[in-house]
A = this chain, B = another copy of it.
Amino acid sequence: MTPRGPRPAGSDTRADILLAAAREFSAKGYNGVSVRGIARSAGVDPALVHHYFEGKSGLFVEAMQLPADPGPTILSFLEGPREGVGERIARGFFGLWEAPERQERFVAIVRSAVGHEDASRMLREFLAREVFGRIAASSGVPDPQLRAGLAASQMIGLAMLRYVIGYPPVVQAEVEELVRLVGPTIQRYLVEADPS
């Protein structure tokens, strides 16, 4: 006999919240959505959302099926001495992308963001707040948001050539070779007051 006790507590509620979150983020972007609004849309108490998810950022990560929560990950790359931060970010970025199961999902996210304005807006606002914003906040350079964007542009461009478009010399390079070559670029953007 199949046991017929109560369903695992909250299994449906959790799914309902994720569904509502995906709908809300897609319609209003990352900035336009609140945990309270998602709770309302899912028909649950906001306290329940906080019970299941780590705030708006955690909810976004799960609703979008991001392979990792970039917020805490980025913070771990930023720790340690200033002089190695460029290499740590580059190495950490490749560490996230190289695992095949994550890579596939990342590529799908890039495809979606490039192809659909809704997805683009969500991702742009999420990255600006939870990733680039944290990098900028830890950086002592002028115009830190632009600098964080430049660092991100280097890593995004590499991901495009290595994982999405597939330019052979970049695909075949060893990760550590890439880290050695692009680490100083990230370092310049994030650490040097005048990198020109």
Q: Interface of A with B (CB < 8 Å)?
A: 110-111, 113-115, 120, 123-124, 127-128, 132, 143, 145-150, 152-158, 160-161, 164-170, 173, 177, 180-185, 188-189, 195-196
Which single member of B120, B157, B158, B169 contacts A145 (CB below 8 Å)?
B169
Q: Provide the bound-state CA to CA distance between A128 and B167, in Å.
A: 7
Q: Is the interface of A mostly helix, strand, loop or mixed?
A: helix
Interface centre among A145, A148, A150 (most CB of B within 10 A): A150
Contacts A166-B124, A167-B132 known; A160 to B161 CB distance under 8 Å? no
The residue that A157 contacts in the complex, of B123, B128, B143, B156, with Cβ under 8 A, is B156
What's the number of copies of this chain in the assembled complex?
Answer: 2
Contacts of A152 in B (CB 8 A): 157, 161, 167
Given contacts A154-B154, A185-B185, contact A165 B124 (CB under 8 A): yes
Chain B residues in 8 Å Cβ range of A115: 111, 114-115
Asked whether, in the complex, the Cβ of A196 is within 8 Å of the Cβ of B181, the reply is yes
Determine if B120 and A110 form an interchain contact, defined as CB atoms under 8 angstroms apart.
no
22 contacts between A and B (CB under 8 A): A111-B115, A114-B114, A115-B115, A120-B165, A124-B165, A146-B173, A146-B181, A149-B161, A149-B167, A149-B170, A152-B161, A153-B154, A153-B161, A154-B157, A154-B185, A156-B157, A156-B160, A157-B158, A157-B160, A160-B160, A184-B188, A184-B196
Instruction: Give CA–CA (A107, B182) in the complex, Å.
Output: 25
| A14 shortest CB reach to chain B, Å | 30
Whether B164 pairs with A153 at a CB distance below 8 angstroms is no
CA distance A77 to B166 in the complex (A): 25
* Docked CA distance A174–B4 (Å): 65
Q: Which one of A127, A132, A164, A196 has the highest number of Cβ atoms from chain B below 10 Å of its Cβ? A: A196
User: Contacts A154-B154, A157-B160, A161-B153: A128 and B189 contacting too (C-beta < 8 A)?
Assistant: no
